[in-house]
């Protein structure tokens, strides 16, 4: 946070991503920023878990639909 603040003071502008934007937002407390980032991380984990869970299911469905008779 101090690096972002120093860059803002020196250059008047800070380039960054979502976390930087949230930290510079004067309407959110630091606790709200932490909560927001935690939710983002959990959403990413949920997304990966869902894909990992659905991959074997999709594989089973696709192989079941194959006709193995010659």
- The predicted-structure confidence for 4-23, as pLDDT tens digits, reads as follows 777 777 777 777 667 777 77
Cα gap 70→62, rounded to integer Å: 18
Six-digit token string for 33: 């920023």
Domain with 20, as residue range(s), is 2-65
Asked whether residue 55 is domain-assigned, the answer is yes
Q: How many CB atoms lie within 10 A of CB 23?
A: 16
Split at pLDDT 50, 70, 90, the class of 1 is: low
The reported pLDDT for the residue numbered 67 is: 63
Q: Provide the domain count of the chain.
A: 1
Split at pLDDT 50, 70, 90, the class of 68 is: low
Asked whether residue 39 is domain-assigned, the answer is yes
Q: What is the mean pLDDT of residues 18-42?
A: 80
Regarding pTM above 0.75, the answer is no
Asked whether residue 16 is domain-assigned, the answer is yes
Q: What is the mean pLDDT of residues 36-47?
A: 80
Asked whether residue 70 is domain-assigned, the answer is no
Asked whether residue 21 is domain-assigned, the answer is yes
């Amino acid at each position: 946070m101090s690096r972002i603040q120093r860059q803002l003071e020196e250059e008047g502008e800070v380039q960054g991503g979502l976390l930087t934007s949230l930290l510079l937002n004067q309407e959110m407390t630091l606790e709200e920023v932490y909560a927001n980032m935690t939710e983002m991380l959990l959403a990413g984990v949920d997304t990966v878990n869902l894909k990992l869970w659905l991959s074997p299911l999709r594989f089973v469905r696709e192989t079941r639909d194959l006709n193995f008779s010659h």
